Amino acid sequence: MEPVVLVPGPQAEGTSWLPLCQRIVGAHPLVVPFGHRRADTMAAMANAVLHQSPTRFHLVGWSMGGYIAFEILRRAPERLLSLTLISTTAAPESEAARQGRQETLDLASIDGMRRYQAANLEKCLLPPGLAGG
């Protein structure tokens, strides 16, 4: 059986993959890397994921996990059996995005990821009175 490495985005954790894992758990060994999101650069994140990954594997990158997946593709294409990208971009991470990611991680380490996610969701949604109608 060929292993599958699942790399989530910065606001997700391994449990984000549970619905998918439940569907493929018997068909493939699954790896969900951890600790890589605290690295300072995409290159360092990719190295951390590669260090936790089997010799050859299918790679799935979601959101910022896709950025990491592209970096893995550049660094170790011979290790990939396939690449699946979900809700990501091929554009390199901008300095503003890097700073935002670091601020997110800093805030999450102080207040917890759930609290950060709730605050971030409020920024992304319109208050009911402004939705128009």
Q: What residue ranges do the domains of the chain occupy?
A: 1-89, 94-125
Question: What does the mean pLDDT of the chain come to?
Answer: 83
pTM of the predicted protein model:
0.73
Comparing CA positions, the residue from 29, 31, 127 lying closest to residue 72 is 31
Fold of 1-89: Rossmann fold (3.40.50)
Quick: pLDDT tens for 62-104: 988 999 999 999 999 999 999 999 988 888 778 887 787 777 7
Q: Which secondary-structure segment (H or E) carries 48?
A: helix 42-52
